[in-house]
Amino acid sequence: MQRVFEALANPARRRILAYLAHAELSAGDIASRFDMAKPSISQHLSILESAGLVSSEKRGQFVFYRLVPESLTNTLHGFVQEVCPVARPLKRESAALARKDDETP
Amino acid sequence: MQRVFEALANPARRRILAYLAHAELSAGDIASRFDMAKPSISQHLSILESAGLVSSEKRGQFVFYRLVPESLTNTLHGFVQEVCPVARPLKRESAALARKDDETP
DNA sequence: TATATACTTAGGTATATTCCTAATTACCAA
DNA sequence: TTGGTAATTAGGAATATACCTAAGTATATA
């Protein structure tokens, strides 16, 4: 939880998550979208990964990164639930949606 | 948005939000729950306030802080929506809930 | 094998964050 | 007015973060 919020505090890392929302991307693909040195992006990716927000897989020379969407929604949902009791029913709805999503890929 | 995520990155500030979920509290009430100097808490409160997550009102000698729940849910919802398209329908559901909530206070 | 490409690790620097103590401001009450 | 309580502002030190360049590892290809 702490790691997730720390990870989200940086705009470059949130942008990386947004890129990964649409497709799996290699570290180089991601880096090329930023005006920043590759090692910096690599570091951001490792922070996102140790927060559990993304996962990586090496294929050949490339390392592909993808989103772990549950970890984001679970953490944020859990927190919002704690702070804003109003939002509590959303969790059930979220679970229902997740099931629906499994059925129709 | 940046300010909200920065504010949430600190565990003391998240804990303050959790306290304020249940009731409005004075700065001193909040500080007394922490093993931390009062000025540090005051600073955390000002960070939360400039992020729009809490609001304050001075009454006599006391400054009372309260949650601004919409700002939290809106920011997090907006972000999750951008990153996890799966969660998109939640927004409509959230709006419906908000309306319901208005009707039955 | 030699060379190029993809990526990470290592090390260093500038800046930001988080905490503290001391001082200040604002309000209440004797 | 004087003294006490509540809270913030000011200033400073320790630590963490975010970036860079240079060097290293691993894989593909000529």
Q: Which pLDDT score is estimated for B43?
A: 98
**What digits encode the pLDDT tens for the residues B21-56?**
989 999 999 999 999 999 999 999 999 999 999 999
Higher pLDDT, B99 or A85: A85
Helix (H, G, I), strand (E, B) or coil at B79: helix
Instruction: Give this prediction's pTM.
Output: 0.84
Higher pLDDT, A82 or A98: A82
Q: Quote the radius of gyration of chain B (alpha carbons, Å).
A: 15
Chain B, 85 to 104: residues with Cβ < 8 Å from chain A are 85-87, 89-90, 93-94, 97-98, 101
Range scoring the smallest mean pLDDT among A32-36, A50-54, A55-59, B92-96: B92-96
**What digits encode the pLDDT tens for the residues B65-95?**
999 988 998 889 889 888 876 554 444 455 5
**Which backbone phi and psi does B65 adopt, to 5 degrees?**
-115, 145
Alpha carbon distance B15, B30 (integer Å): 10
Residue A97: give the domain boundaries: 1-102
Residue B25's CB is within 10 A of a number of other CB atoms, namely 21
Reported as a pLDDT band with limits 50, 70 and 90, residue A24 is: very high
Alpha carbon distance B5, A14 (integer Å): 10
CATH of the domain at B93: 1.10.10.10
Chain B, 2 to 21: residues with Cβ < 8 Å from chain A are 2, 5-6, 8-9, 11, 14, 17-18, 20-21
Q: Which of A6, A73, A80 has its CB closest to that of B73?
A: A80
Domain count, chain B: 1
